[in-house]
Chain A
Amino acid sequence: MDKTNQNRFMKYLRTDRLPNIFCPGCGNGIVMNSFFNGMERAEIDFDNLALVSGIGCSSRVPGYIKCDSLHTTHGRPIAFATGLKLANPELDVVVFTGDGDAAAIGGNHLIHGARRNINLTVICINNSIYGMTGGQISPTSPTGSYGSTAPFGAVEKPFDLSELTKAAGASYVSRWTTAHPVQLANAIKAGLQNKGFSFIEAVSQCPTYFGRKNKMKTAVTMMQWMKAESITKRRAEKMDATDLEGKIIVGEFQNKKEAEFTEQICKLIGDKCTTGKPSSIKSAFQED
């Protein structure tokens, strides 16, 4: 095929792995496109980018992107990314994670990453279900939604990941759905430019499991549902709690400037290091 007729994001992809493994209509591809768009607009150097992911459908995204990527154990991408960022502070580290990965098994790593305010961009693809293992209820499944472990509807209250990370101390938090790809790209751009822990929650569709169990069989019906149910933060502030039940509140939840962890650690090493070399951590893997 002629090069001019290629998709504009094809240059970032490992073309030998395509077509990707995601189900038809999966939201992961849309988040991937929004990430490329946000990255281009934030003017991030693609060669200076490292992607970290855990386990799950969403964590397969870095496997298709032609840059340094790290596929780690379940729930631990933020722990691995913290080490990566501290060992090489110049790197732009982005974590792709899912709701089961970030909220369930890796919940502690998420809140402690936010508490430290380390300069990472965490993109959490929240599809409200465990898609890879067969549609079990996840910590973010809405009350009353069906899954293979909740045949009569979930009775638990779901986690609000954006409020959680905001309360834990993240300096940039926003939530958008895959039905808002332009706003999502703007949020990813702001998250990449923010110096500190940036958490972007992308509410996504899983037509294969969440949709099929909840009477929304196709990606189109799921996305129409998300578009209809989402309310911007400004409008939600004027509404009662009873009206907001079952709605997806989207928007920017936090955007503040705070002391960043990596800078503080580098400054401490520079001050206390007896050899007088602030970059002494780098000498562990770079011969000089």
Chain B
Amino acid sequence: MITINEDLCKECNLCKEFCPLKVYEESKIPNKKGIHVPCPKNEDKCTKCGLCILMCPDQAIAVDDKDED
């Protein structure tokens, strides 16, 4: 499960660009800081490679290793 911390995200869009499977998409509605936080639209494609965690300069992304059920 992918969680994005809205308090830390600064909308640099690196996760959106560098995810090899294009899991992330920009959200339409800005949050209270006016930031379009990326949302993991195609989460079913995620293989948990962890590149987005390494690429996020603000440590905002968390990918849970375990499946939901």
Interface residues of A (CB under 8 A from B): 1, 4-10, 13, 18-20, 22-30, 32-34, 37, 179, 181-182, 185, 218-220, 223-224
Residue in B5, B11, B55, B66 whose CB lies within 8 Å of A7: B5
Contact B57 A28 (CB under 8 A): yes
Per the 8 Å Cβ criterion, residues 8-51 of B in contact with A are 8, 10-14, 17-18, 51
Contact A182 B57 (CB under 8 A): no
Q: Which residues of A contact B61 (CB under 8 A)?
A: 7
Give me the 7 closest cross-chain CB pairs, A-B, nearest first.
Answer: A29-B57, A25-B12, A24-B10, A181-B54, A5-B3, A24-B12, A7-B59
Contact A33 B59 (CB under 8 A): yes
List 8 extra interface pairs beyond A5-B3, A20-B58, A24-B11, CB under 8 A.
A8-B53, A19-B7, A25-B57, A29-B57, A29-B58, A37-B54, A182-B54, A223-B17
Taking CB as reference atom, which chain B residue is nearest A27?
B57
A26 to B51, CA, bound (A): 17
Taking CB as reference atom, which chain B residue is nearest A22?
B57
Can you name 10 A-B residue pairings with CB atoms under 8 Å? A1-B3, A4-B64, A7-B5, A7-B62, A9-B53, A25-B10, A29-B58, A182-B54, A220-B12, A220-B13
Q: Which residues of A contact B53 (CB under 8 A)?
A: 7-9, 33
A220 to B26, CA, bound (A): 14
A175 to B69, CA, bound (A): 42
Residue in A5, A25, A182, A218 whose CB lies within 8 Å of B1: A5
Q: A9-B59, A27-B57 are in contact. Are A181 and B14 (CB under 8 A)?
A: no
Min CB–CB distance A206 → chain B (angstroms): 12
Q: Which residues of B contact A23 (CB under 8 A)?
A: 10
Q: A7-B60, A7-B61, A19-B10 are in contact. Are A185 and B18 (CB under 8 A)?
A: no
Contact A30 B10 (CB under 8 A): no
Q: Which residues of B contact A224 (CB under 8 A)?
A: 17
Contact A34 B54 (CB under 8 A): yes
Q: Which residues of A contact B56 (CB under 8 A)?
A: 7, 29-30, 33
A73 to B18, CA, bound (A): 36
Q: A4-B66, A220-B14, A223-B14 are in contact. Are A33 and B5 (CB under 8 A)?
A: no
A13 to B51, CA, bound (A): 19
Q: Which residues of B contact A185 (CB under 8 A)?
A: 54
